[in-house]
Structure 1
Amino acid sequence: MTDSAVEFFDARALHLLEVPVPQLSSEERAAMDRFWEESVARQPALFDGPAVACIAIEDAGGELLLSWARVTYRYRALRRLDTCSWLPASVFVTVLQPVEDGGLIVGRNSGSTASPGRWALPGGSAEPPAEGGTLDLAALRRHAAQELLEEVGLTADPEDMTVWGVTRGEFGNIGVHFVAPPVPAGLVHKHHEGLVEAEAARGATAELDQLAVVRSEADVTGLGHYADFLPQVVTRYSAERALRTA
Protein backbone atom coordinates (compact mmCIF):
# COMPACT_ATOMS: atom_id res chain seq x y z
CA MET A 1 0.00 0.00 0.00
CA THR A 2 1.32 3.45 -0.86
CA ASP A 3 1.29 6.54 1.29
CA SER A 4 -1.29 8.20 -1.00
CA ALA A 5 -3.87 5.63 0.16
CA VAL A 6 -3.51 6.64 3.82
CA GLU A 7 -6.11 9.08 5.16
CA PHE A 8 -5.06 11.51 7.86
CA PHE A 9 -7.44 12.93 10.46
CA ASP A 10 -6.41 16.14 12.22
CA ALA A 11 -8.23 15.12 15.35
CA ARG A 12 -8.76 17.68 18.09
CA ALA A 13 -10.64 15.11 20.17
CA LEU A 14 -11.20 11.35 20.02
CA HIS A 15 -14.19 9.61 21.57
CA LEU A 16 -14.51 5.82 21.71
CA LEU A 17 -17.78 3.89 21.87
CA GLU A 18 -18.03 0.13 22.36
CA VAL A 19 -20.54 -1.64 20.10
CA PRO A 20 -21.39 -5.32 19.45
CA VAL A 21 -19.31 -7.41 17.05
CA PRO A 22 -21.03 -7.73 13.64
CA GLN A 23 -22.61 -11.13 13.14
CA LEU A 24 -20.88 -13.64 10.85
CA SER A 25 -22.55 -16.36 8.87
CA SER A 26 -21.71 -19.95 9.76
CA GLU A 27 -19.76 -20.19 6.48
CA GLU A 28 -17.74 -17.05 7.25
CA ARG A 29 -16.93 -18.24 10.76
CA ALA A 30 -15.85 -21.66 9.49
CA ALA A 31 -13.61 -20.08 6.84
CA MET A 32 -12.15 -17.70 9.41
CA ASP A 33 -11.31 -20.56 11.76
CA ARG A 34 -9.77 -22.58 8.93
CA PHE A 35 -7.57 -19.70 7.74
CA TRP A 36 -6.47 -19.00 11.30
CA GLU A 37 -5.48 -22.62 11.90
CA GLU A 38 -3.49 -22.59 8.65
CA SER A 39 -1.71 -19.39 9.78
CA VAL A 40 -0.81 -20.90 13.15
CA ALA A 41 0.52 -24.02 11.42
CA ARG A 42 2.90 -21.79 9.42
CA GLN A 43 3.77 -19.53 12.36
CA PRO A 44 3.21 -21.35 15.69
CA ALA A 45 4.04 -18.21 17.70
CA LEU A 46 0.75 -16.60 16.65
CA PHE A 47 -1.61 -16.04 19.57
CA ASP A 48 -5.36 -15.55 19.31
CA GLY A 49 -5.35 -12.80 21.89
CA PRO A 50 -7.88 -10.03 22.52
CA ALA A 51 -7.95 -7.15 20.08
CA VAL A 52 -9.92 -4.03 19.22
CA ALA A 53 -11.70 -3.76 15.87
CA CYS A 54 -12.84 -0.47 14.39
CA ILE A 55 -16.47 -0.77 13.31
CA ALA A 56 -16.85 2.84 12.16
CA ILE A 57 -15.15 6.19 12.46
CA GLU A 58 -16.91 9.51 12.00
CA ASP A 59 -15.24 12.90 11.63
CA ALA A 60 -17.31 15.87 12.75
CA GLY A 61 -14.98 18.78 12.14
CA GLY A 62 -12.04 17.30 14.01
CA GLU A 63 -14.15 15.58 16.67
CA LEU A 64 -13.66 11.89 15.94
CA LEU A 65 -16.06 9.19 17.11
CA LEU A 66 -14.57 5.69 16.87
CA SER A 67 -17.00 2.80 17.33
CA TRP A 68 -15.16 -0.37 18.32
CA ALA A 69 -15.83 -4.01 19.19
CA ARG A 70 -14.04 -6.76 21.10
CA VAL A 71 -12.53 -9.39 18.82
CA THR A 72 -9.51 -11.68 18.75
CA TYR A 73 -6.64 -11.82 16.29
CA ARG A 74 -8.24 -14.64 14.29
CA TYR A 75 -10.81 -12.18 12.96
CA ARG A 76 -8.10 -10.75 10.71
CA ALA A 77 -8.33 -13.97 8.70
CA LEU A 78 -11.63 -12.62 7.32
CA ARG A 79 -9.57 -10.33 5.11
CA ARG A 80 -8.53 -13.39 3.11
CA LEU A 81 -12.09 -14.23 2.09
CA ASP A 82 -13.17 -13.24 -1.42
CA THR A 83 -16.45 -11.95 -0.05
CA CYS A 84 -17.37 -11.17 3.53
CA SER A 85 -20.19 -9.20 5.14
CA TRP A 86 -17.64 -7.39 7.32
CA LEU A 87 -13.93 -6.67 7.01
CA PRO A 88 -12.37 -6.13 10.43
CA ALA A 89 -10.22 -3.02 10.71
CA SER A 90 -7.61 -3.01 13.46
CA VAL A 91 -7.01 -0.22 15.95
CA PHE A 92 -3.39 0.37 16.91
CA VAL A 93 -1.26 2.92 18.72
CA THR A 94 2.18 4.28 17.94
CA VAL A 95 4.67 6.60 19.59
CA LEU A 96 6.45 9.36 17.72
CA GLN A 97 9.65 9.38 19.77
CA PRO A 98 11.70 12.39 18.66
CA VAL A 99 15.43 12.62 19.27
CA GLU A 100 16.97 15.93 20.18
CA ASP A 101 18.20 16.72 16.66
CA GLY A 102 14.68 16.41 15.25
CA GLY A 103 14.47 12.88 13.82
CA LEU A 104 12.02 10.16 14.80
CA ILE A 105 12.88 6.68 16.08
CA VAL A 106 11.64 3.77 13.96
CA GLY A 107 12.21 0.06 14.46
CA ARG A 108 12.35 -3.06 12.31
CA ASN A 109 10.11 -5.95 13.34
CA SER A 110 12.04 -9.09 14.18
CA GLY A 111 11.34 -12.57 12.86
CA SER A 112 9.26 -13.38 15.94
CA THR A 113 6.56 -10.86 14.98
CA ALA A 114 3.61 -11.05 12.59
CA SER A 115 5.31 -8.64 10.13
CA PRO A 116 9.03 -9.53 10.11
CA GLY A 117 11.31 -7.02 8.44
CA ARG A 118 8.75 -4.20 8.40
CA TRP A 119 9.82 -0.79 9.71
CA ALA A 120 7.38 1.22 11.79
CA LEU A 121 7.08 3.51 14.78
CA PRO A 122 7.14 1.78 18.18
CA GLY A 123 3.61 0.64 18.95
CA GLY A 124 1.13 -2.16 18.65
CA SER A 125 -2.48 -3.28 18.43
CA ALA A 126 -4.86 -1.78 20.97
CA GLU A 127 -6.21 -4.13 23.59
CA PRO A 128 -9.75 -4.09 24.98
CA PRO A 129 -10.25 -3.43 28.69
CA ALA A 130 -11.67 -6.04 31.04
CA GLU A 131 -15.39 -6.62 30.68
CA GLY A 132 -17.18 -3.55 32.00
CA GLY A 133 -14.06 -1.44 31.61
CA THR A 134 -13.71 1.63 29.44
CA LEU A 135 -11.49 2.08 26.42
CA ASP A 136 -10.68 5.76 26.23
CA LEU A 137 -7.87 8.07 25.21
CA ALA A 138 -6.14 7.69 28.57
CA ALA A 139 -6.09 3.89 28.14
CA LEU A 140 -4.65 4.22 24.63
CA ARG A 141 -2.01 6.63 25.92
CA ARG A 142 -0.98 4.17 28.64
CA HIS A 143 -0.83 1.37 26.10
CA ALA A 144 1.38 3.45 23.80
CA ALA A 145 3.79 4.13 26.67
CA GLN A 146 3.86 0.41 27.48
CA GLU A 147 4.68 -0.45 23.86
CA LEU A 148 7.56 2.05 23.92
CA LEU A 149 8.93 0.35 27.04
CA GLU A 150 8.51 -3.19 25.69
CA GLU A 151 9.88 -2.52 22.20
CA VAL A 152 12.56 0.12 22.82
CA GLY A 153 13.22 -0.17 26.55
CA LEU A 154 12.47 3.52 27.02
CA THR A 155 10.25 4.72 29.85
CA ALA A 156 7.84 7.58 29.16
CA ASP A 157 5.20 9.09 31.42
CA PRO A 158 1.86 8.62 29.64
CA GLU A 159 0.83 12.06 30.88
CA ASP A 160 3.69 13.57 28.89
CA MET A 161 2.43 12.00 25.65
CA THR A 162 -0.11 13.85 23.52
CA VAL A 163 -2.30 12.78 20.62
CA TRP A 164 -0.59 13.88 17.41
CA GLY A 165 -2.94 12.48 14.77
CA VAL A 166 -5.08 9.60 13.57
CA THR A 167 -4.65 7.68 10.31
CA ARG A 168 -6.75 5.23 8.33
CA GLY A 169 -4.83 2.89 6.06
CA GLU A 170 -4.86 -0.62 4.65
CA PHE A 171 -8.00 -2.65 5.47
CA GLY A 172 -9.33 0.52 7.14
CA ASN A 173 -6.88 0.07 10.03
CA ILE A 174 -6.97 3.01 12.44
CA GLY A 175 -3.74 4.31 13.94
CA VAL A 176 -3.77 6.61 16.95
CA HIS A 177 -0.39 8.33 17.05
CA PHE A 178 1.08 9.91 20.19
CA VAL A 179 4.14 12.13 20.43
CA ALA A 180 6.57 11.87 23.35
CA PRO A 181 9.10 14.44 24.62
CA PRO A 182 12.47 14.46 22.77
CA VAL A 183 15.37 12.44 24.18
CA PRO A 184 19.02 11.98 23.09
CA ALA A 185 19.41 9.43 20.30
CA GLY A 186 22.26 7.77 22.17
CA LEU A 187 20.01 7.18 25.17
CA VAL A 188 17.39 5.47 22.99
CA HIS A 189 19.94 3.13 21.40
CA LYS A 190 21.47 2.36 24.82
CA HIS A 191 18.09 1.34 26.24
CA HIS A 192 17.26 -0.74 23.18
CA GLU A 193 20.61 -2.54 23.28
CA GLY A 194 19.96 -3.40 26.92
CA LEU A 195 16.51 -4.70 26.04
CA VAL A 196 17.86 -6.89 23.22
CA GLU A 197 20.51 -8.33 25.53
CA ALA A 198 17.97 -9.04 28.28
CA GLU A 199 15.64 -10.80 25.85
CA ALA A 200 18.51 -12.89 24.44
CA ALA A 201 19.57 -13.87 27.97
CA ARG A 202 16.17 -15.46 28.55
CA GLY A 203 16.16 -17.16 25.17
CA ALA A 204 13.75 -14.75 23.52
CA THR A 205 13.92 -12.25 20.66
CA ALA A 206 13.17 -8.55 21.01
CA GLU A 207 10.20 -7.35 18.96
CA LEU A 208 12.37 -4.74 17.22
CA ASP A 209 15.74 -6.07 16.11
CA GLN A 210 17.06 -2.75 14.79
CA LEU A 211 16.43 0.97 15.30
CA ALA A 212 16.98 3.92 12.98
CA VAL A 213 16.39 7.66 12.99
CA VAL A 214 14.35 9.10 10.10
CA ARG A 215 13.85 12.74 9.19
CA SER A 216 12.22 12.62 5.75
CA GLU A 217 10.14 10.49 3.40
CA ALA A 218 13.35 9.61 1.55
CA ASP A 219 14.76 8.19 4.79
CA VAL A 220 11.67 6.02 5.16
CA THR A 221 11.54 4.70 1.60
CA GLY A 222 15.25 3.94 1.81
CA LEU A 223 14.52 1.42 4.56
CA GLY A 224 12.70 -0.94 2.19
CA HIS A 225 9.61 -2.57 3.74
CA TYR A 226 7.68 -0.14 5.97
CA ALA A 227 4.25 0.47 7.46
CA ASP A 228 1.88 2.23 5.09
CA PHE A 229 1.40 5.26 7.33
CA LEU A 230 5.10 5.87 8.03
CA PRO A 231 6.07 8.18 5.11
CA GLN A 232 3.09 10.46 5.69
CA VAL A 233 3.61 10.66 9.44
CA VAL A 234 7.33 11.43 9.11
CA THR A 235 6.70 14.04 6.39
CA ARG A 236 4.03 15.82 8.44
CA TYR A 237 6.04 15.71 11.64
CA SER A 238 9.14 17.09 9.92
CA ALA A 239 7.12 19.90 8.29
CA GLU A 240 5.59 20.85 11.63
CA ARG A 241 9.00 20.89 13.31
CA ALA A 242 10.43 23.06 10.54
CA LEU A 243 7.65 25.61 11.13
CA ARG A 244 8.26 25.60 14.90
CA THR A 245 11.99 26.14 14.53
CA ALA A 246 11.87 28.64 11.62
Structure 2
Amino acid sequence: MEAPAPEPPPWERLAMDRVWDEKVRANPSLFDGPVAACAGLTRDGPHGVVLTWARTTYRRYVLRWIPGATARLPGLFADVAQPTCDGRLLVGRMGRSTSTPGRWLLPGGSVEPPGDGQVLDLAVVRGHAARELAEETGIESAPGELRLWLVTRGTHGSVGVLFLAPPRPAALLRERFAYRVAAETARGREPELDRIALVGSWAELAELTGPGADHADYLEPVVARYAGAAQPAPARPDAARPGPARPDAARPGPARPGPARPGPAPLRPPPPGGG
Protein backbone atom coordinates (compact mmCIF):
# COMPACT_ATOMS: atom_id res chain seq x y z
CA MET A 1 0.00 0.00 0.00
CA GLU A 2 1.10 3.56 -0.65
CA ALA A 3 2.02 6.07 2.05
CA PRO A 4 3.22 9.67 1.81
CA ALA A 5 6.97 10.21 1.97
CA PRO A 6 8.12 12.06 5.10
CA GLU A 7 8.89 15.71 4.49
CA PRO A 8 12.52 16.60 5.36
CA PRO A 9 12.90 19.61 7.66
CA PRO A 10 14.57 22.63 6.02
CA TRP A 11 18.10 21.90 7.31
CA GLU A 12 17.83 18.30 6.19
CA ARG A 13 16.66 19.24 2.71
CA LEU A 14 19.56 21.69 2.33
CA ALA A 15 22.02 18.99 3.40
CA MET A 16 20.38 16.45 1.09
CA ASP A 17 20.60 18.80 -1.90
CA ARG A 18 24.23 19.63 -1.12
CA VAL A 19 25.30 15.98 -0.92
CA TRP A 20 23.34 15.07 -4.04
CA ASP A 21 24.91 17.94 -6.00
CA GLU A 22 28.37 16.77 -4.92
CA LYS A 23 27.64 13.27 -6.18
CA VAL A 24 26.31 14.54 -9.50
CA ARG A 25 29.45 16.62 -10.01
CA ALA A 26 31.50 13.46 -9.41
CA ASN A 27 29.25 11.36 -11.69
CA PRO A 28 27.09 13.42 -14.10
CA SER A 29 25.19 10.30 -15.21
CA LEU A 30 23.29 10.15 -11.92
CA PHE A 31 19.57 10.67 -12.44
CA ASP A 32 17.17 12.20 -9.92
CA GLY A 33 14.09 10.53 -11.35
CA PRO A 34 11.00 9.17 -9.60
CA VAL A 35 11.41 6.03 -7.55
CA ALA A 36 9.31 3.91 -5.20
CA ALA A 37 10.94 3.62 -1.78
CA CYS A 38 10.14 1.27 1.06
CA ALA A 39 8.11 2.96 3.79
CA GLY A 40 7.53 -0.19 5.84
CA LEU A 41 7.67 -3.98 5.79
CA THR A 42 5.76 -6.24 8.17
CA ARG A 43 5.16 -9.97 8.28
CA ASP A 44 1.73 -11.29 7.39
CA GLY A 45 1.60 -14.83 8.70
CA PRO A 46 4.43 -17.35 8.36
CA HIS A 47 4.94 -16.91 4.61
CA GLY A 48 3.82 -13.40 3.74
CA VAL A 49 4.78 -9.77 4.09
CA VAL A 50 2.97 -6.48 3.64
CA LEU A 51 5.00 -3.76 1.96
CA THR A 52 4.27 -0.06 2.32
CA TRP A 53 5.88 2.21 -0.25
CA ALA A 54 6.24 5.94 -0.91
CA ARG A 55 6.91 8.12 -3.96
CA THR A 56 10.17 10.02 -3.89
CA THR A 57 13.26 10.65 -6.05
CA TYR A 58 16.74 9.18 -6.00
CA ARG A 59 18.30 12.10 -4.15
CA ARG A 60 16.50 11.09 -0.95
CA TYR A 61 18.78 8.07 -0.69
CA VAL A 62 21.77 10.29 0.18
CA LEU A 63 20.13 11.01 3.54
CA ARG A 64 21.80 7.88 4.88
CA TRP A 65 25.08 9.79 4.86
CA ILE A 66 23.64 12.74 6.79
CA PRO A 67 23.86 12.28 10.58
CA GLY A 68 20.57 12.87 12.33
CA ALA A 69 18.47 12.75 9.16
CA THR A 70 14.87 11.84 9.96
CA ALA A 71 13.32 11.56 6.49
CA ARG A 72 15.33 8.59 5.23
CA LEU A 73 13.59 5.93 3.19
CA PRO A 74 15.09 2.54 2.27
CA GLY A 75 15.19 1.46 -1.35
CA LEU A 76 12.89 -1.02 -3.07
CA PHE A 77 14.38 -3.26 -5.76
CA ALA A 78 13.24 -5.91 -8.20
CA ASP A 79 16.02 -8.41 -8.99
CA VAL A 80 16.23 -11.57 -11.09
CA ALA A 81 18.11 -14.78 -10.39
CA GLN A 82 18.86 -16.09 -13.88
CA PRO A 83 20.10 -19.71 -13.71
CA THR A 84 21.87 -21.80 -16.28
CA CYS A 85 20.80 -25.33 -17.13
CA ASP A 86 23.73 -26.71 -15.14
CA GLY A 87 22.79 -24.97 -11.88
CA ARG A 88 24.80 -21.73 -11.93
CA LEU A 89 23.53 -18.17 -11.50
CA LEU A 90 24.29 -15.12 -13.61
CA VAL A 91 25.88 -12.20 -11.76
CA GLY A 92 26.87 -8.87 -13.30
CA ARG A 93 29.42 -6.17 -12.58
CA MET A 94 28.24 -2.56 -12.57
CA GLY A 95 29.78 -0.37 -15.27
CA ARG A 96 31.76 2.85 -14.98
CA SER A 97 28.79 5.12 -15.64
CA THR A 98 26.87 3.83 -12.63
CA SER A 99 27.13 5.07 -9.07
CA THR A 100 28.68 1.80 -7.87
CA PRO A 101 31.19 0.83 -10.59
CA GLY A 102 32.74 -2.58 -10.06
CA ARG A 103 30.02 -3.91 -7.75
CA TRP A 104 28.83 -7.45 -8.46
CA LEU A 105 25.12 -8.15 -8.08
CA LEU A 106 22.11 -9.77 -9.70
CA PRO A 107 20.40 -8.07 -12.65
CA GLY A 108 17.68 -5.73 -11.44
CA GLY A 109 17.04 -2.22 -10.30
CA SER A 110 15.00 0.25 -8.31
CA VAL A 111 11.24 -0.01 -8.67
CA GLU A 112 9.59 2.93 -10.42
CA PRO A 113 6.30 4.23 -9.03
CA PRO A 114 3.12 3.71 -11.07
CA GLY A 115 1.03 6.60 -12.33
CA ASP A 116 -1.04 8.63 -9.90
CA GLY A 117 -3.93 6.59 -8.57
CA GLN A 118 -2.52 3.32 -9.89
CA VAL A 119 -1.62 0.34 -7.75
CA LEU A 120 1.91 -0.95 -7.24
CA ASP A 121 1.21 -4.66 -6.98
CA LEU A 122 3.27 -7.80 -7.44
CA ALA A 123 2.47 -7.95 -11.16
CA VAL A 124 3.93 -4.46 -11.65
CA VAL A 125 7.07 -5.36 -9.71
CA ARG A 126 7.42 -8.59 -11.70
CA GLY A 127 7.13 -6.64 -14.96
CA HIS A 128 9.78 -4.23 -13.78
CA ALA A 129 12.12 -7.13 -12.99
CA ALA A 130 11.62 -8.54 -16.50
CA ARG A 131 12.46 -5.15 -18.07
CA GLU A 132 15.58 -4.76 -15.96
CA LEU A 133 16.78 -8.22 -16.95
CA ALA A 134 16.37 -7.37 -20.63
CA GLU A 135 17.90 -3.90 -20.37
CA GLU A 136 20.96 -5.03 -18.44
CA THR A 137 21.69 -8.42 -19.98
CA GLY A 138 19.73 -8.70 -23.25
CA ILE A 139 17.89 -11.73 -21.86
CA GLU A 140 14.13 -11.61 -22.42
CA SER A 141 11.68 -13.32 -20.11
CA ALA A 142 7.96 -12.72 -20.13
CA PRO A 143 6.86 -11.45 -16.71
CA GLY A 144 4.76 -14.58 -16.24
CA GLU A 145 7.90 -16.70 -16.52
CA LEU A 146 9.44 -15.09 -13.44
CA ARG A 147 8.58 -16.87 -10.20
CA LEU A 148 8.65 -15.03 -6.89
CA TRP A 149 11.46 -16.63 -4.91
CA LEU A 150 12.81 -14.49 -2.05
CA VAL A 151 12.34 -11.17 -0.30
CA THR A 152 15.60 -9.71 0.98
CA ARG A 153 16.31 -7.03 3.58
CA GLY A 154 19.46 -4.93 3.46
CA THR A 155 21.74 -3.28 5.96
CA HIS A 156 20.06 0.09 5.45
CA GLY A 157 16.60 -1.46 5.42
CA SER A 158 16.38 -1.76 1.63
CA VAL A 159 13.98 -4.42 0.36
CA GLY A 160 14.65 -6.62 -2.65
CA VAL A 161 11.93 -8.65 -4.35
CA LEU A 162 13.81 -11.49 -6.01
CA PHE A 163 12.35 -13.48 -8.89
CA LEU A 164 13.64 -16.75 -10.34
CA ALA A 165 13.84 -16.96 -14.14
CA PRO A 166 13.66 -20.18 -16.20
CA PRO A 167 17.04 -21.92 -16.70
CA ARG A 168 18.77 -21.22 -19.99
CA PRO A 169 21.95 -22.54 -21.65
CA ALA A 170 25.11 -20.75 -20.53
CA ALA A 171 26.14 -20.08 -24.13
CA LEU A 172 22.83 -18.36 -24.83
CA LEU A 173 23.19 -16.08 -21.79
CA ARG A 174 26.68 -15.03 -22.84
CA GLU A 175 25.58 -14.44 -26.42
CA ARG A 176 22.60 -12.29 -25.43
CA PHE A 177 24.79 -10.21 -23.14
CA ALA A 178 27.42 -9.72 -25.85
CA TYR A 179 24.72 -8.46 -28.23
CA ARG A 180 23.43 -6.06 -25.60
CA VAL A 181 26.87 -4.61 -24.85
CA ALA A 182 27.64 -4.24 -28.56
CA ALA A 183 24.34 -2.44 -29.17
CA GLU A 184 24.88 -0.01 -26.28
CA THR A 185 28.45 0.68 -27.38
CA ALA A 186 27.31 1.33 -30.96
CA ARG A 187 24.92 3.98 -29.61
CA GLY A 188 27.73 5.69 -27.72
CA ARG A 189 26.45 4.54 -24.34
CA GLU A 190 28.20 2.59 -21.64
CA PRO A 191 26.30 -0.54 -20.60
CA GLU A 192 25.00 -0.63 -17.06
CA LEU A 193 26.69 -4.01 -16.58
CA ASP A 194 30.14 -4.26 -18.14
CA ARG A 195 30.72 -7.94 -17.39
CA ILE A 196 28.80 -11.05 -16.41
CA ALA A 197 29.88 -14.32 -14.81
CA LEU A 198 28.18 -17.62 -14.06
CA VAL A 199 28.75 -18.90 -10.54
CA GLY A 200 27.66 -22.13 -8.91
CA SER A 201 28.90 -21.65 -5.36
CA TRP A 202 30.00 -18.99 -2.92
CA ALA A 203 33.59 -20.17 -3.40
CA GLU A 204 33.33 -19.38 -7.12
CA LEU A 205 31.85 -15.97 -6.33
CA ALA A 206 34.64 -15.21 -3.85
CA GLU A 207 37.23 -16.24 -6.43
CA LEU A 208 35.56 -14.01 -9.00
CA THR A 209 35.40 -10.89 -6.86
CA GLY A 210 38.71 -11.28 -5.04
CA PRO A 211 39.88 -9.61 -1.81
CA GLY A 212 38.41 -6.16 -1.30
CA ALA A 213 36.10 -6.39 -4.30
CA ASP A 214 32.68 -4.82 -4.00
CA HIS A 215 29.63 -7.05 -4.16
CA ALA A 216 26.11 -6.91 -2.83
CA ASP A 217 26.05 -8.81 0.42
CA TYR A 218 22.92 -10.73 -0.55
CA LEU A 219 24.92 -12.63 -3.18
CA GLU A 220 26.55 -15.07 -0.78
CA PRO A 221 23.36 -16.47 0.78
CA VAL A 222 21.40 -16.28 -2.49
CA VAL A 223 24.04 -18.19 -4.46
CA ALA A 224 24.41 -20.70 -1.63
CA ARG A 225 20.65 -21.17 -1.36
CA TYR A 226 20.25 -21.75 -5.08
CA ALA A 227 23.27 -24.05 -5.29
CA GLY A 228 21.83 -26.19 -2.51
CA ALA A 229 18.48 -26.59 -4.25
CA ALA A 230 19.31 -26.49 -7.95
CA GLN A 231 19.17 -29.48 -10.22
CA PRO A 232 20.18 -29.41 -13.89
CA ALA A 233 17.15 -28.43 -15.95
CA PRO A 234 16.33 -28.87 -19.64
CA ALA A 235 17.18 -25.94 -21.85
CA ARG A 236 14.49 -23.58 -23.06
CA PRO A 237 13.72 -24.14 -26.73
CA ASP A 238 14.45 -20.54 -27.69
CA ALA A 239 17.54 -19.56 -29.63
CA ALA A 240 19.77 -16.53 -29.55
CA ARG A 241 18.92 -13.80 -32.01
CA PRO A 242 21.14 -10.85 -32.92
CA GLY A 243 20.54 -7.36 -31.72
CA PRO A 244 19.63 -6.07 -28.28
CA ALA A 245 16.63 -7.48 -26.51
CA ARG A 246 15.19 -3.99 -26.12
CA PRO A 247 16.21 -0.82 -27.96
CA ASP A 248 15.71 1.44 -24.97
CA ALA A 249 18.74 2.35 -22.92
CA ALA A 250 19.31 1.37 -19.36
CA ARG A 251 19.21 4.46 -17.21
CA PRO A 252 21.99 4.69 -14.62
CA GLY A 253 20.72 5.62 -11.22
CA PRO A 254 22.24 6.43 -7.86
CA ALA A 255 23.75 3.89 -5.57
CA ARG A 256 21.55 1.14 -4.31
CA PRO A 257 20.61 2.20 -0.80
CA GLY A 258 22.31 -0.68 0.91
CA PRO A 259 23.11 -4.23 -0.09
CA ALA A 260 20.31 -6.61 0.73
CA ARG A 261 20.45 -9.78 2.76
CA PRO A 262 18.02 -12.63 2.33
CA GLY A 263 15.59 -13.25 5.14
CA PRO A 264 15.53 -16.53 7.03
CA ALA A 265 13.23 -18.23 4.54
CA PRO A 266 11.60 -17.65 1.16
CA LEU A 267 8.69 -15.27 1.58
CA ARG A 268 5.60 -15.04 -0.54
CA PRO A 269 4.48 -11.41 -0.21
CA PRO A 270 1.01 -10.29 -1.14
CA PRO A 271 0.92 -7.62 -3.84
CA PRO A 272 2.95 -4.66 -2.54
CA GLY A 273 0.31 -2.24 -3.70
CA GLY A 274 -2.50 -4.15 -2.09
CA GLY A 275 -3.28 -4.05 1.52
Q: TM-score, length-normalised on structure 2?
A: 0.80
> Amino acid of the residue matched to residue 142 of structure 1?
G
Within 1, Cα distance between the matches of 2:70 and 2:2? 20
Say if 2:200 is the partner of 1:215: yes
Give the corresponding residue for 1:30. 14
> Amino acid of the residue matched to residue 51 of structure 1?
V
Q: TM-score, length-normalised on structure 1?
A: 0.90
Give the corresponding residue for 1:152. 137
Give the corresponding residue for 1:162. 147
Say if 2:174 is the partner of 1:189: yes
Aligned length: 228
Q: The residue matched to 1:225 in structure 2 has which SS?
A: coil
Please point out which of 87, 112, 116 is paired with 1:127.
112
Q: The residue matched to 1:53 in structure 2 has which SS?
A: strand
Give the corresponding residue for 1:230. 219
The structure with the largest helix share of the pair is 1
Q: The residue matched to 2:224 in structure 1 has which SS?
A: helix
Q: Cα offset for 1:220?
A: 1.9
Within 2, Cα distance between the matches of 1:112 and 1:47? 11
Q: Cα offset for 1:87?
A: 2.4
Within 2, Cα distance between the matches of 1:101 and 1:136? 33
Within 2, Cα distance between the matches of 1:154 and 1:193? 11
Say if 2:38 is the partner of 1:54: yes
Runs of 4+ in 1 over 4 A off after TM superposition: none
The structure with the largest strand share of the pair is 1
Contact 1:94-1:175 within 8 A present in 2 as well: yes
Deviations 1:193-237 (A, max 9, x none): 011111111111111111100111112222132111111111111
Q: Cα offset for 1:69?
A: 0.1
- The 5-angstrom pairing of residues 39-188 of structure 1 reads 39-60=23-44, 61-188=46-173
Contact 1:104-1:234 within 8 A present in 2 as well: yes
Q: Cα offset for 1:170?
A: 2.2
Contact 1:87-1:171 within 8 A present in 2 as well: no
> Amino acid of the residue matched to residue 173 of structure 2?
V
Give the corresponding residue for 1:20. 4
Contact 1:88-1:171 within 8 A present in 2 as well: no
Deviations 1:90-131 (A, max 9, x none): 000111101010000011011011110001111111110111
- The 5-angstrom pairing of residues 199-210 of structure 1 reads 199-210=184-195
Which blocks of at least 5 consecutive residues in structure 2 are unaligned?
A: 234-275
> Amino acid of the residue matched to residue 229 of structure 1?
Y
> Amino acid of the residue matched to residue 121 of structure 1?
L
Q: The residue matched to 2:75 in structure 1 has which SS?
A: strand
Q: Give the structure, 1 or 2, with the largest relative contact order (CA under 8 Å, sep 6 or more).
A: 2
Which blocks of at least 5 consecutive residues in structure 1 are unaligned?
A: 1-16
Q: Cα offset for 1:23?
A: 2.3
Computed over aligned residues only, the root mean square deviation of the Cα atoms, in angstroms, reads 1.4
